[in-house]
Structure 1
Amino acid sequence: MTMWLESYRPQRFDELLTSDSVIDSLTHLSLQANPPHLLLSGPTGCGKTAAHQLVCRQVLGPSWRATTHVLQARDLAKTAGAMAKFEEFLRPEGAGSADTLAGRTSLDAFDHNISAAAEHSPPPAGEESPAPAVGTIAPVSRIIVIEDADYLGHARQSYLRRMMEESSRSARFIFTTHTPSRIIEALRSRTQHLRMPTLSRLMIEQRLDTIATAEGIQPTQGVLGDIAHVSNGNLRKSIFMFQLLAERQLLNQRSNVQLLMSNSTRREVQLVLEEALRGRVHDWKWEVQGKKNARVLKGAMGSLDQLMTLHDLDGRGVVDRLHHFLVAGRTHYPDALLNDLLEALSICDVRLQRSAQSRIQLEELLHRVAEIGQKHVSLLS
């Protein structure tokens, strides 16, 4: 099955679903002979990945995939030995070597068509970027993309700053982030920062309608609007959901959209909240695993771990699910209890933006929910 996210990926800057000012800025900086390092910030699904791919294609030419290197910082943060893997990515020959990924040059920088891996795609700006004048500056030979750079932490960001200063004459860095305030000032000051706005429901609905026309699909009236609404500004999520419903032939009823959303995380989120409200934040139990008895974490934290693992959520994703559950109007919680829960959730959201340890903040939130449950015990009984 061909993924529509790839089939309908923008090929030109003017095909990006974002504001005109962002498109103009991306086009202008990509056409410069000496383009700057770039910091793209914005909410999930607003087009940061599509934008940096177009910039790489414009700056590096048709063979851009051969000299573009992408590191997903969020996935790296979940693994053991993260710093060693980070250094291995930036210094392929070893930590003690003077050879760095940013310091390597490529023949593609002098002839964009030299690589056999060149793809036949039009330049996103409508014309190829000009080469710098001979004897002035080194042409850009490769681009290093750090996605979700706000998960790097200060130590790795400082490591990057030194590399940008010492060995990136012919390389450029592109950072994407949800929370630019978690990027150290030393990095932000060395990049051009572009903020990509949240996509409106109408913008997403129009893009889905374009895809439906191209695929020859006629969904029931209102379905595309419902998908755009529940995606909450996330274009990637809306296209994926649209294709999923289309493949299963579920575009004939608007109720299928709500059914899909309610079955995804609502029950798991409700279990986390109910366990915490009853004071069972940590509930260790013995279970038989294989031929041994093992202590297993249950209660709210155990349910939270299952939720995050099953749906591949990070801290901000959990907060989004909790907020959606509380404001959807299906909890039947008294107003006083609901207000306290939303206040605790907002405090956690702010702390997550400043912390690299999301689990600590989520655990503190669940303890706060347990206190709220004790405060309103008469309303819950």
Structure 2
Amino acid sequence: MDRRRFLTRAGIGAAAATTLAAPAVAQSSPKVSWRLASSFPNSLDTIYGGATTLSKYLSAATDGNFEIQVFAAGELVPGLQAADAVMEGTVEACHTVSYYYWGKDPAWAVPAAIPFSLDARGMNAWHYHGGGIDLANQFYAKQGLIGFPGGNTGVQMGGWFRKEINTVADLQGLKMRIGGFAGSIMETLGVVPQQIAGGDIYSALETGTIDAAEWVGPYDDEKLGFVQVAPYYYYPGWWEGGPTVHFLFNLEQYDLLPENYKALLRTASQAADANMLSQYDWLNTTSIRNLVAAGAQLRPFSPEVLEACFNASNEVYAALDTSNPEFKTLWDSIKAFRNNWFTWLQVAEYNFDTFMMQKANAGQL
């Protein structure tokens, strides 16, 4: 073969290879623009920031080809209607806590948090390695959704109270801002649950419209100034031991994505999930000190109150187990893991943490 014929054929081959490669690249990295409705105001930079973290990672990984525009609560739809907007196809995605929708079906609450379930690490273990994501998605698929964990606050605080709560009798007639599933449990013990938006809680506490309010934890609570109007700060928030925030996606739109985008979506969701919990762990350490310095009086719920709440929760679960198979499937899976989880925590984690706490309290760290 002479040199001219070889170069000509080589050039044709290279051109053909380039021509064949272009559609494959285009197919794997198409331009996708989605909108995401958050259930949170952008003033709550930690929990709202989970959605912006997802958006940033996806854009960076695809050279800007997969874009998700994030809208704060109220910009497109009210925060508590974010999942409805995804189901209706108004937006492709939302960032929310699925227990907000427990009124549709109590099963919505289980993949997020229900009273006396798991802490944040336990929830992550169940979701990622105990089949929780798949079980949740069997339920979400019936709503036209697919979801992945997208954040966690860790164990929340039990809320701000205008008076001390020492016994179950102290709960009688207490008007408390407490949302969703937990409110239904508290109601069985005499509490009068109130649904109040975050921005209105302070004035309701200040004027005595409500007697108590739960929100999230020290970092977010400090921003809202509750310490100025309700000094007793109770713990733990037994109804949210490890509340999982979810990214929920419209299932039809998700199915249209190429496989690499689906993989990126799940990976970026998990990154946002881990980032939120570590951010809260970092920030709460300073905020709890600030709140105490500002006059917050830390109070643990008494064993009597916790025991009554635990028993009331189990009574509700027993009734749901007999009437709601979706709830039972999810809850049975968590319960099968829960006892082993807390037994394991007693062995190394609890003893290490307890020793180090004693040293911290003694000023030896």
Instruction: Give the TM-score, by structure 1 length.
Output: 0.25
Q: Which has the higher contact order (CA 8 A, sep 6+)?
A: 2
Q: TM-score, normalised by structure 2?
A: 0.26
